[in-house]
Chains A and B, each alone.
Chain A
Amino acid sequence: MATPGTTQEEFTLDTAAELAAEEGGSKIEGKSPWVLAGRRLRRNYTALAFLGIFLLVLFLCFVFAPVYSSQLSHVGPDDENASGVIHENGKTIHVISQGGSTFSGTGQVHLKAGGIPIGPQLGASGVAYFFGADQQGRDIGTRLLYGGRNTLFIGIVAAVICTVVAILLALLAAYFGGASDWIISRAFDLIWAFPVILLGIALGTALNINGFHHGPINIAAGSLWIPTFVIAFVFIPYIGRPLRGQVLALRNREFIEASTAQGAGPLRIMFTELLPNIASSVLVLFTLIVANAILTEVALSFLGAGVQPPKPSWGTMIADGQTFLSSDPWFAILPGIMITITVISLNVFGDGLRDALDPRAKVKMEH
C-alpha cells in the first residue's frame, strides 16, 4: 500500500496467506512474524556471514583493542613517540627519521631529508610498530583498533539517538497531524535541504572550537559526543520521513480504531499499537543508518570536523596517512580496508534483515 507523501518505501502488512506463500507452504500457524523473520534470516547464510564479520570487527575494536595495547604493543593509541627509537637486530632505528638543514658560508643549504615514520615492522621488533608508526610516532596498529572503536561508537550511538528521536517525531507528526505534523515535517524538510556532509562540517567545526555549553548540557570541545550528536541530528529526517509515512498509513486502520474505541489514549496507541507495527522498518533503517553514520563520521573526521586529534578514528587516520601515500601507503590503506569491511558487512546484513522481516518491502534510504 503506497502512502501519500512517502516515496521511500512501499509498506505492506503480511496476511497469513501471503506469509504462507513466502514460506513455501511450510507451517506458519501460531508463529509470530518475528519467529518467521528469524527463520528466514537463519536461512540467509550470506547475511549471517557478514553479520559474523561485523561482530568480529566489533570484537577487535571493543574487546581486543585494550589487550593489544596493554599486552602486545605496550603503547596507548595517543602515545606520541616522535623522538623515540626501537632496536632491531642490534640496530637502533628512529621511529621518525632524523633530518635537518645546515648552511655553508656561501649561503648554500644542505638538507638531510627526514621526518618519515617507521614503516610496518611485521614482527621484526616484536609487536611494536607491527603496522608502522604515524607522523607522531604513534603505533598504527593500536590506533587502528582504537580508531575503529571511536568510529563504531559514534556510528552506532548516533544511529540509536537518531532512530529514537526520529521514531518519536514520526509518531507525533503522523498520529496528531495538523499543526504538529506541519511543524515536524517542515523541520525534516529544512534539515533534508542541507547536504549531510556540509551540514555536518558546519556544525562539527563550530561545536569543536568551544564545545556546547547551554543550560545543563555541557559537552567539551573535542568530545566524541559532538560528532555523535551532529551525525544523529543530520540523519533524523532520513528515518523520520519514511516512518511518518508508515504511521500515516496505519493510523486509520481498523485495529487503531478498535483500540481508540476501547479507550486507549494517544501514548498507548502510539507505543503499543503503532510502534510494533513499524518495528521491522525501524530495524532495517537502523542498520542502514549505522552504515551511513559510520561513513559520515569517517568523512567528517577526514575533513577535520569529526573526531579531534589526538583521538584516532578511521577518518583521521586516512587524513593523516594521505600525506605519506608514497612512502607508507599502508598508513592510509589499512583504515580504508577496515571501513570497507565494516560498511559492506552492515549493508549486506541489513539487506538480509530486510528480506527476512518483510520480503516485499522496499525500505531504503534516499539521499
Chain B
Amino acid sequence: MRTKRVRSVAVAAVVAAGLALVVSACGGGGSSGGNTTTTSAQGKTFANLKVVWGPTDYLDPGLSYKLESWQIFQDVYLGLVDKRYGTCGVGAGCTKIIPAIAQSLPKSNSDGTDLKFTLRKGLKYSNGESVKASDFKNTIIRDFKLNSPGIGFFSNIVGIASCEANPTKCKSISGIIVNDQAGTVEIKLMKPQSDFLYILTTFFAALVPSSTPQKDTENPPPAADGPYYFSSYKPNHSWVAQRNPHWKPIPGIPNGNPDKITATLSGDQSRSAQLVQSNQVDYDENTLPADRLKQLQSKYGPQIHLWRTASTNYFFMNERTKPFNNIKARQAVNYAINRQTLVNLYGGLGTPTWNFLPPTYPQYKKLTPTPYPYNLQKAKQLVQQSGTKGMTIGVYTESDFQNRKAAGEYLQGQLNKIGWHAVMHELSSANYFVIVGNQKTKAQIGFDDWFEDYPYPTDWFTVLQYGPNIHQIHNNNNSNVDFKDTNSTINHLGTLPPGQAFSASTDNAWANLDKTLMLKYTSEAPFLNEVITSFFSTRMNPQCDIFTDLFSDAAQMCLK
C-alpha cells in the first residue's frame, strides 16, 4: 500500500487472505533463488548524489508507511527476502522474490504454513553489531510495541493473538522460532497465506538490531543491514545516506554507485524541478508539475524518464450511506465521469481504466467493451431511477495535490450536472485519509488511490474490497464494499493450496472477481492508472534509472 501518502492501517488484515506460497518459493530451499547479481558496474561509483525528495513520514522502518520513505529504504533496510531490484515490467521485472538476509528462499511444508529460513553468515549492521536470527523476532515484536501501521500484516502468525490484543505489551510470538547459534528463523502460520513472502519484503519485516529502542527512532534512524545507512535525518528538511561500512555484498542487492546520497526534502513540484533544471541537485523524486510537463519535456526530454505504476486512482462510493447504497447511483457516477478528461487533468500522466486491478498484474483482464462509456444522459436517468435526485452529497478530495484536487472538483461538477447537489470538502493530505477512513465522517464519495504494497491481488481486494476488513477508524475500504459472494471468493482465492496461487485458472478467477465487483456491483469508480516521472540533471545518466517495485532506486543511479 505504498502510496504517495501515509496510510495508517489496521489495514492489512491481509489476514484473511491466506494461503499459498509464491510459486518460486514453494518447497524452496537450497538454491539462492536464481537471483541475478545487480551490483553496480565497476567504475560507476561517485562521491555524492544530490537529490530533492518528497517529504518522508518516518525514517524508522517500523513506523513508516509512505512511498517516499520506502523508496530510499530499499537501499538501507533488508528483510529475510526482498523483491528483485530490476525495472518493473521490463525483462525479468521486479516481482520475483529473492533471498536477502536469508541465504535462500525458505523451506516450507506442503501448505506453506511452516517456513524455515537460514541467515547468511557474517552480516553486520552499520553500527557494527552482528545480524542475528533473534533480530527478526524482535523486529516484529518492536512493530507491535510501536503500534506500527504494519502489524495487521502479521496477524496470521501463530501466537500473535496476545500481541494483537495489547500491541504495546507484546513480549513474545510463539510462531516465530529463532536460533541465533544456527542462524535459523522458523515462522509458523495459522493457515496458508499466498502473499506471506511478499509481506516479508515489506519494511515492517526488515531487520533492525535487537538493541534498537522500542520507540520511534529517527535521530539517527535505526542501524541498517543494507548497503547504505542514514547518517543524518532532519524531518521535513533533509536526510543523508552513506555507505554502510560493514556491508558485505549480497547477490542481487545492488552495492550502490554513490558513496553518499544527500536529500533535500520538498513536496513543491515546481521548486524541485527547478533545482534539477539548475543542476543544483541530480534527481527529482517528485513528479513533474502538470502545467510544465510540455515545456520541460521539450527542453529536457532525454533527462526525463516516464514510468507506469501499479496504481489505480478511483472514486470511492460509500455503500453504507445514501445515495450510494443504491447500485443505480453508483452506476450513474461511473457513466458521469469522462476518464479521458481526468487523464487530461493529470497532464496526460495516466491511462484511463475501468478495472480496479492495474494492468501491470498478470491477473488483469481489461473489461471490454468499455463498461461505462461517458454518457451524461444515462447518468441522469439512473439518478432519477435511484430516487435520489436533488440529494446533497459531500465530495471529498485532497487539497494540496493539484491532480487530486482537480479530480475531486471535476467529480463535484459532474454530480451537479446529473441531478445531485454536490458539496466539496477539500482536506489536507496530511489528514485526508484519517478523516475519510473514519466511519463517523460518513464520507459519501471522494478521491481515492492505491499503489501496490506487493504484487499480488490480495493487496487490492483483501485490503480494499473485502467486507470483513472494514474498520471503524483507519479504514481503507472507504466504499465499505461488503458483498457475500465476493467476500467468499476473496477468501477462497486467498486459501488455495501452494502452486495454485499463481496458476492461470487462479489468475482468471482474480480477473473475474475484478469484473464482478466493477460490473455486477459497481463497487468503485476507477478512472486511471498513474504514470510518474524521474527527472535528472545533465551530469546524470538516465539509463541507470532502475524503476523497481519501490520506484527509482537511488543506489543504482550513475553519472554519464
Chain A interface (Cβ within 8 Å of chain B)?
Answer: 78-80, 82-83, 96-103, 106-116, 135-136, 208-209, 220-222, 304, 308-310, 323-328
Q: How far is the CA of A100 from the CA of B427 in the complex (A)?
A: 27
Known: A107-B90, A107-B308. 9 other contacts (CB 8 A): A82-B410, A100-B351, A101-B351, A103-B351, A109-B307, A115-B293, A325-B270, A326-B295, A327-B295
Among A82, A109, A221, A326, point to the contact of B292 (Cβ < 8 A).
A326
| Interface membership of B306, Cβ < 8 A | yes
Task: From the candidates A106, A113, A308, A310, name the one contacting B294 in the complex (CB within 8 A).
Answer: A113
Complex Cα distance, B412 from A184, in Å, reads 43
Question: A100-B343, A115-B291 in contact; A136/B394 too (CB < 8 A)?
Answer: no
A109 partner, pick from B308, B347, B409, beta carbons under 8 A: B308
Encode B345-356 as 1/0 by CB contact (under 8 A) with A: 111111100000
B343 in contact with A99 (CB, 8 Å):
yes
Q: How far is the CA of A293 from the CA of B465 in the complex (A)?
A: 46
Across-interface contacts of A114 in B (CB, < 8 A) = 294, 343-344, 347-348
Are B344 and A101 within 8 A (Cβ)? no
Q: Which residue of A lies closest to B87 (CB)?
A: A107
B275 at the interface (CB under 8 A from A): no
Q: How far is the CB of B276 from chain A (nearest CB, A)?
A: 15
Assess the B340–A100 pair: CB atoms within 8 A: yes
Shortest CB-to-CB span from A185 to chain B, Å, is 35
Contact between chains at B345 and A96 (CB < 8 Å): yes
Contact A304 B399, beta carbon cutoff 8 Å: yes
Residue contact B346 to A308, C-beta cutoff 8 Å: no
Chain B proximity of A190: nearest CB distance (Å): 26
Contact check, B409 vs A83: say whether CB atoms are below 8 A apart: no
Evaluate contact between B423 and A136: CB separation under 8 angstroms: no
Q: How far is the CA of A110 from the CA of B351 in the complex (A)?
A: 11
**Measured between C-beta atoms, what is the minimum distance from A184 to chain B in Å?**
35
Which A residues are CB-close (under 8 A) to B427? 209, 304
Chain B: CB-nearest residue to A99: B348
B289, A323: Cβ atoms under 8 Å?
yes
- B412: chain A residues at CB < 8 Å are 309-310
Partner of A98, one of B88, B344, B392, B414: B344
- Please, could you name 28 A-B residue pairs with CB atoms under 8 Å apart, sorted by A? A80-B409, A82-B338, A83-B340, A96-B345, A99-B346, A100-B340, A100-B344, A101-B308, A101-B349, A103-B351, A107-B87, A107-B90, A107-B308, A109-B531, A113-B297, A114-B343, A114-B347, A135-B345, A135-B409, A208-B425, A220-B392, A221-B394, A222-B423, A304-B428, A308-B423, A308-B424, A310-B413, A323-B289
- Chain A hits for B177, CB < 8 A: none
| B426 interface residue per 8 A CB criterion | yes
B291 and A323 contacting across the interface, CB-CB below 8 Å:
yes
Kindly state the separation between the CA atoms of A309 and B413 in the bound complex, as whole angstroms.
Answer: 10
**A116 contacts which chain B residues (CB < 8 A)?**
291, 294
CB-based nearest B residue for A211: B423
User: Known: A78-B413, A310-B412. Is A83-B307 also a contact (CB below 8 A)?
Assistant: no
Give the CA-CA distance A221 to B444 in the complex, in Å.
14
Cross-chain contact of B348 among A82, A100, A209, A221 (Cβ < 8 A): A100
A102 to B294, CA, bound (A): 16
The CA of A111 and the CA of B350, in the complex, are separated in Å by 9
Number of interface residues of B (CB under 8 A): 51
Query: Which residue in chain B gives the minimum CB-CB distance to A222?
Result: B423
B384 to chain A minimum Cβ distance, whole angstroms, is 21
Contact of B90 with A82 in the complex, beta carbons under 8 Å: no
Asked if B503 is an interface residue, CB under 8 A from chain A, the answer is no
The interface residues of chain B lying within 8 Å CB-to-CB of A326 are 270, 291-292, 295
The answer on a CB contact under 8 Å between A308 and B347 is no
CA distance A19 to B409 in the complex (A): 59
Q: How far is the CB of B417 from chain A (nearest CB, A)?
A: 8
Instruction: Tell me, yes or no, whether B36 is within 8 Å of chain A by CB.
Output: no
Does any Cβ of A come within 8 Å of B341's Cβ? Answer: yes
B250 within 8 A of A: no
Known contacts A99-B347, A101-B350, A115-B344; A309/B290 CB under 8 A: no
**Closest CB of chain A to B407's CB: distance in Å?**
10
Chain B 316-351 against A: per-residue CB contact (8 Å), 1 yes, 0 no? 000000000000000000000010110111111111
Q: Does B33 contact A (CB under 8 A)?
A: no
A102 to B293, CA, bound (A): 16
Interface check B435, CB cutoff 8 A: yes
The answer to whether B402 has its CB under 8 Å from any CB of chain A is yes
- B341 and A96 form a contact (CB under 8 A): yes
A222: B residues at CB distance < 8 A = 423-425
Closest A-chain residue to B414, C-beta based?
A: A80
Supposing A106-B90, A326-B292, A327-B292 touch, asked if A309 and B345 sit within 8 A by C-beta, the answer is no
- A101 CA to B89 CA, complexed, in Å: 16
Give every chain A residue within 8 A of B402 (Cβ-Cβ): 135, 323
- What residues of B have a CB within 8 angstroms of the CB of A100 in the complex? 340, 343-344, 348, 350-351
B290:A115 contact, CB within 8 angstroms: yes
B414: chain A residues within 8 A (beta carbon) = 80
Complex CA–CA separation, A78 to B425 (angstroms): 16
Using Cβ atoms and an 8 Å threshold, which residues of chain B touch A135? 345, 402, 406, 409
Contact check, A111 vs B531: say whether CB atoms are below 8 A apart: yes
Docked complex Cα distance between A138 and B344 (Å): 15
Our pick among B88, B344, B392 for the contact of A82 (Cβ within 8 Å) is B344
Residue on A nearest B348 in the bound complex, by CB: A99
Instruction: Provide the residues of chain A in CB contact with B295, threshold 8 Å.
Output: 326-327
Q: Which of B88, B291, B424 makes the CB contact (< 8 A) with A310?
A: B424
Residues in chain A near residue B292, CB distance under 8 A: 326-327
Give the chain B neighbours of A304 by CB distance below 8 A: 399-400, 426-428
B492 to chain A, nearest CB (A): 33
B362 CB, min distance to chain A CBs, angstroms:
15
Which residues in window 374-405 of B have CB below 8 A to A? 374, 392, 394, 399-400, 402
Task: Check if A308 sits within 8 Å of B351, measured CB to CB.
Answer: no
Q: How far is the CA of A107 from the CA of B87 in the complex (A)?
A: 9
A308 to B338, CA, bound (A): 23
Contact of B413 (CB < 8 Å), options: A80, A221, A325, A327: A80
Tell whether, in the assembled complex, residue B338 and residue A103 are in contact, meaning their CB atoms are under 8 Å apart.
no
Smallest beta-carbon distance B430→chain A, Å: 11
Q: Do A136 and B409 have beta carbons less than 8 Å apart?
A: yes
Is the Cβ of A308 less than 8 Å from the Cβ of B425?
yes
Central interface residue in A102, A109, A113, by most chain B CB within 10 Å: A113
Chain A residues contacting B297 (CB-CB under 8 Å) are: 111, 113
Determine the distance from Cα of A115 to Cα of B349 in the docked complex, in whole angstroms.
10
In the assembly, what is the distance between CA of A271 and CA of B353, in Å? 67
* Known A-B contacts A83-B341, A99-B348; A309 and B531 likewise in contact (beta carbons under 8 Å): no
Q: Which residues does chain B contribute within 8 Å of A79, judged by CB atoms?
A: 413
- Tell me the complex Cα distance, A115–B413, Å: 17
Give min CB distance, B336 to chain A, whole Å. Answer: 11
With contacts A101-B308, A107-B90, A309-B412 taken as known, whether A115 is within 8 angstroms of B346 at the C-beta atoms is yes
CB-based contact A136/B413 at 8 Å: yes
| Residue of B with least CB distance to A83 | B341
Per the bound structure, the CA–CA distance linking A108 and B88 in Å amounts to: 11
CB-based nearest B residue for A324: B291
Question: Which B-chain residue is minimally distant from A84 (CB atoms)?
Answer: B341
Q: Is there an interface contact between B306 and A113, defined as CB atoms closer than 8 Å?
A: no
Chain B residues, Cβ within 8 Å of A97: 344
A82 and B341 form a contact (CB under 8 A): yes
- The 0/1 profile, CB within 8 Å of A marked 1, for residues 414-450 of chain B is 1011000001111110000001000001000000000
Q: Is the CB of B426 within 8 A of A111?
A: no
Give the nearest-CB partner of B376 in chain A: A83
- A136 and B416 CA atoms in complex are apart in Å by 14
Shortest Cβ distance from residue A203 to the other chain B in the assembled complex, whole angstroms: 15
Q: Min CB distance, B55 to chain A, in Å?
A: 18
In the complex the two chains form, what is the Cα distance from A112 to B297 in whole Å? 9
Known A-B contacts A96-B341, A115-B344; the reply to A309 vs B308 at CB < 8 A is no
Contact A310 B348 (CB under 8 A): no
Cα distance A102–B90 in the bound complex, in angstroms: 15
Which chain B positions have C-beta within 8 A of A208? 425
In the complex, A109→B351 CA distance in Å?
A: 11
Of A98, A102, A111, A308, the residue contacting B349 (CB under 8 A) is A111
